[in-house]
Amino acid sequence: MNTPTVSRRNFLKASSLTGLALSLGIYIPTNAEEAEIINAAEADSFGVEMNAWIHIEPSGKVTIFSHRAEMGQGVYQAIPQMVAEELEVDLDKVNIVFAKGDNKKYGNQVTGGSSTVRGSYKNLLTLGATARQLLIQAAATKWNVPSSDCYAEAGQVIHRPTAKRLHYGELVADAMKLETPKNVTLKKRSDYKLVGKPLLRQDTKLKTNGTATFGLDKEIPGMLYATVERNPRLRGKVKNFDDSATRKIPGVKHVFKTKMLVFNTYREGVAVVATSTWAALQGKKALKVEWDDSGFEHLSTDEIFKRQQQALQTQEGLSFKQQGDASAVISQATKKLDVVYETPYQYHACMEPLNCIAHYQDDKLEIWGPIQAPEWVQDAISKEMGLDREKVIVHMTFLGGGFGRKAFMDYPHEAAVISKEIKAPVQVVWTREDDATQGPYRPGISYRCEGVVENGKINAFKLRMAGQNNDHWRGGPKDKANRSTSEGFLKPYADGIKNLSIADVPFETPIPTMWWRSVYASTNGFAYESFMDELAHEAGKDPMTFRREHLPDERLHRQLDKLADVSGWKTRKPGEGYGMAITECFASTVGHVVKVSKGQDGKLKIDHVWAVMDCGWYVNPDTIKAQVEGSIVMALGAATQHQVTFKDGVPVDKNFYSYQLPRINDIPPIDVYVMDNDEPAGGVGEPGLPAFAPALANAIFDLTGKRIRKLPFNLATV
């Protein structure tokens, strides 16, 4: 892209568009060139839309737009923390607003894959630095001094020799007229005041007095409330329904058959629209619906895993990674390990059940809700409803949890369909039962792991997974192995094993599946890192030493050393109940050590969990610790308490009385440590999860000699 020439005419035009404000954003060319920082005028002269991430007004008010969904992981804090660092403003003086869903302006807004910081930190830092440099330049020109004599601090530019100072607001009008510098110097890490510091989150206060607006809390004028009775078999159609009792309930206004888009299928249901949530809930209860469940299999959990495990005994699958000849070594070996691991279907169970407001009017659709992926909502719904993409406006609220579930378009689409039908704004409320029984779920997976150890090292490692491929639901190729077949498995392991084979044995069911926090690493990690432990014992080696010897990587060695240090690994006695595991996903590596013991009642209990996260360059260490703590709690539940089971195609557990989540009395002491280095930034929200289950199972083996190969298991009865 050429250096833009900004004409006077364009300035005026841009100023009239944005008001008098220094407004800077990032422009990401579609031809994947480097992103550029541009101002409003330049954007105008290119005819491109930019993502207006910073606004500085003459009053000195600074507004920073947060373009990603806040679901607990702390982006609401992380984005401004990065921008404010380079801009040199106090974080508490900055006004933070959620940007509307608009990927022309903000680029990819899908909050998933732990990607917010690692995907955009360099651009965001550069953005802040560019604004700072413009303001310094404006002041230097005004004072007629070299800009090198000026510096910025706390929202002011200061002339070092004379201590003269001007507020940013006083410089806005001049700074707006300057050409945006193309090469700015970023601050050194050692000079950071905000980044890397455990600053308190800006959204906490809103969450201690009930003022944070989640999707379910949003209200728009004239809004009605809807519930939907959906097909309990996650597919299929409404044959007929009897709404006579429903219509007698005061407040119920409409009852009709509706549908929502679930990937490439529609799920039918009956909508009840009423003047209050309660009336809509009562109306739903009073419905009698007959379903048409023909045309697909009604599977039960036992059958699913039986089929997976049969396939693993008879099929080689689609090769994902291959080096040497693992199969040959294994077939000739006199001693080998050949075991099967099993991980269940899981439900996201966000504390805030799904909900969405839609207002369809005159070929325009507005949506408000807890939404992880506004642009996908725009894409899918505009296509489905035959609207221009620009006519679908998506507003993000706070999310009461997301974990992957709220990156999905079914519930906004359903709300849009209902609003269109009734010609009024409507909030569709999912009950907990709807939320728990409607999927999509994390797929349940079986793994067959075979290995041969020779002279204390792995000579052959052969792994096959059989489980549903989430990509297939979105049209991914069926003749290729799941792209996440080795997700979670440390890459350097693979480099160090002579004969290695990793393959995906195709497996399908009619049950819709989707990402769940840390995606395939959450299940792969259990199989791979438990098996690594089995191999270590087979080799007669300490599990930490064994891993170290198979990981030719200094950065990982430093992390393992830290893990050994903080957990007292080296001074433990074998058989004392220590286990470890280490996995990588979303460009971050996390190792856990778990210590277990038997209480006086003979029941197993977790005494302590130590975690060491290496996510490279980071923004807020306290947020990282919080995310790892939360990941461990979520992993604990998935390892020892809950799973989605199916009977004749219907999910069995409907609410928390049987789908038991961890509670405060289940939680062991957890210590989290973060490695300090300047490596590229990795993800934070998910990588803390996968290594917990194998570390726990490995600890149980250390204590009891019992190898756990199936999740979830009951701690009390091990």
Partner 1 sequence: MALQRINAMAIIKLTINGNEQSIDVDPQMPLLWAIRDVVGLKGTKYGCGVAQCGACTLHLNGEAVRSCVTKVSRAAGQKVVTIEGLSQNNDHPLQQAWQQIDVPQCGYCHSGQIMSAAVLLRENPNPTDADIDVAMAGNICRCGTYPRIRKAIHLAAGAEQKVGKNE
**Would you tell me which residues interact with ligand FES (CB under 6 A)?**
72, 351, 401
Give every CB contact of residue 708 below 8 A, 6+ residues apart in sequence.
530, 697, 700, 701, 718
CA dist., res. 159 & res. 164, Å (int): 5
Residue 7's binding partner out of partner 1, ligand FES, none, with CB under 5 to 8 Å set by partner kind:
none
Nearest distance, CB of residue 148 and partner 1, angstroms: 39
CA-wise closest residue to 181 among 140, 145, 227: 140
What does the buried/exposed string (b/e) look like for 360-394 if buried means 16 or more CB atoms within 10 Å of the residue's CB?
A: beeeebbbbbbbbbbbbbbebbbebbebeeeebbb
- Considering the complex, state which of residue 105 and residue 348 has its C-beta at the smaller distance from ligand FES: 348
* Nearest-angstrom CA–CA distance, 590 and 562: 11
Q: How far is the CB of 397 from ligand FES (least distance, A)?
A: 14
Which of 186, 351 has the CB closer to partner 1? 351
Which residue lies nearer to partner 1 by CB, 74 or 694?
Answer: 74
DSSP string, 3-47: PP---HHHHHHHHHHH-SSEEEEEE--TT-PPPEEEEHHHHHHHT
In what side-by-side order are the strands of the sheet with 670-674? 578-585, 588-598, 604-614, 670-674
CA dist list (Å): 305 to 299, 384, 465, 664: 10, 35, 12, 32
Residue 478 three-state SS: coil
Nearer to ligand FES, 440 or 662 (CB): 662
DSSP output for 365-427: EEEEE--S-HHHHHHHHHHHHT--GGGEEEEE-B-S--TTGGG-SHHHHHHHHHHHHHTS-EE
Strands of the sheet containing 392-396, edge to edge, are 252-262, 265-274, 224-230, 426-429, 355-361, 364-369, 392-396
Q: Kindly report the backbone phi and psi dihedral angles of residue 379, in degrees, each rounded to the nearest multiple of 5, phi listed first.
A: -60, -55
State which residue, 281 or 337, has the beta carbon closest to partner 1.
Answer: 281
Phi, psi (deg, nearest 5) at residue 246: -60, -45
Residue 400: CB minimum distance to ligand FES, A: 6
- What is the rounded CA–CA span in Å between residue 99 and residue 220? 19
Closest approach, Cβ 399 to partner 1, in A, equals 6
**CA dist., res. 182 & res. 56, Å (int):** 20
Polymer length in residues for the chain: 718
Q: Which helix (H) or strand (E) holds 547?
A: helix 543-550
622 binds, among partner 1, ligand FES, none (CB under 5 to 8 A by kind): partner 1
Kindly state the smallest distance separating residue 210's Cβ from ligand FES, in Å: 13
CB nearer to ligand FES: pick between 20 and 351: 351
Structure tokens, 83: 């921008």
Among partner 1, ligand FES, none, what does residue 336 contact (CB within 5–8 Å per kind)?
none
Q: What's 507's DSSP letter?
A: -
Q: Which residues pair with 276 in a beta bridge?
A: none
Judged by beta carbon, residue 174 or residue 629, the one nearer ligand FES is: 629
Q: Which does 250 bind (CB under 5 to 8 A by kind): partner 1, ligand FES, none?
A: partner 1
Measured CA distances, 35 to 81, 98, 123 (Å): 20, 22, 7
74 binds, among ligand FES, partner 1, none (CB under 5 to 8 A by kind): partner 1
Nearest to partner 1 of 317, 651 (CB atom): 651
Q: SS3 for 666?
A: helix
Rounded to whole angstroms, what are the CA distances from 64 to 53, 126, 233? 6, 14, 45
Q: Is the CB of 72 or the CB of 113 nearer to ligand FES? A: 72
Please, which residue, 270 or 503, has the CB nearer to partner 1?
270
Nearer to ligand FES by Cβ, of 401 and 685: the residue is 401
Q: Judged by CB, which is closer to partner 1: 59, or 276? A: 276
- Residue 225 CB, shortest distance to ligand FES, in Å, is 17
Residue 341 interaction partner, one of ligand FES, partner 1, none, beta carbon < 5-8 Å per kind: none
Which residues are registered as beta bridge partners of 446? 342, 466
Q: Nearer Cβ to ligand FES, position 72 or 512?
A: 72
Q: Which does 651 bind (CB under 5 to 8 A by kind): partner 1, ligand FES, none?
A: none
CB of 107 vs partner 1, minimal distance in Å: 24
Q: Which does 129 bind (CB under 5 to 8 A by kind): ligand FES, partner 1, none?
A: none
Q: Which does 25 bind (CB under 5 to 8 A by kind): partner 1, ligand FES, none?
A: none
Comparison of 277 and 319: residue with beta carbon closer to ligand FES: 277
**Partner whose footprint covers residue 278, from ligand FES, partner 1, none (CB < 5 to 8 Å by kind):** partner 1
Closest CB to ligand FES belongs to which residue?
351
Helix/strand/coil (H, E, C) string of 216-266?
HHCCCCCCEEEEEEECCCCCCEEEEEECHHHHCCCCEEEEEEEEEEECCEE
CB of 663 to ligand FES, least distance (A): 12
Q: How far is the CB of 624 from partner 1 (least distance, A)?
A: 12
Burial class (CB in 10 A: 0-12, 13-18, 19+), 189: exposed
- Tokens at 387, concatenated: 């609207």
Nearer to ligand FES (CB atom), residue 113 or residue 401: 401
How far is CA 244 from its chain centroid?
A: 43
Query: Which residue has tokens 């308490």?
Result: 641
Site of interaction with partner 1 (CB under 8 A): 70-74, 200-201, 203-214, 216-217, 219, 225, 245, 248-250, 276-279, 281-282, 285-286, 349-353, 398-403, 429, 431-432, 622, 626-627, 629-634, 655-657, 661-665, 667, 669-670
For the CB of residue 621, give the shortest distance to partner 1 in the complex, in Å. 12
| Minimum distance of partner 1 from residue 115's CB (angstroms) | 18
Q: Which option in ligand FES, partner 1, none does residue 549 bind, with CB closer than 5 to 8 A by kind?
A: none
Nearer to partner 1 (CB atom), residue 73 or residue 559: 73
Indicate the helix (H) or strand (E) that contains 704: helix 692-704
Smallest gap from Cβ 249 to ligand FES, in A, equals 21
Q: How far is the CB of 678 from ligand FES (least distance, A)?
A: 31
Q: Provide the greatest CA pair distance for the chain.
A: 84
Minimum Å distance from CB 629 to ligand FES? Answer: 11
* Smallest gap from residue 433 Cβ to ligand FES (A): 12
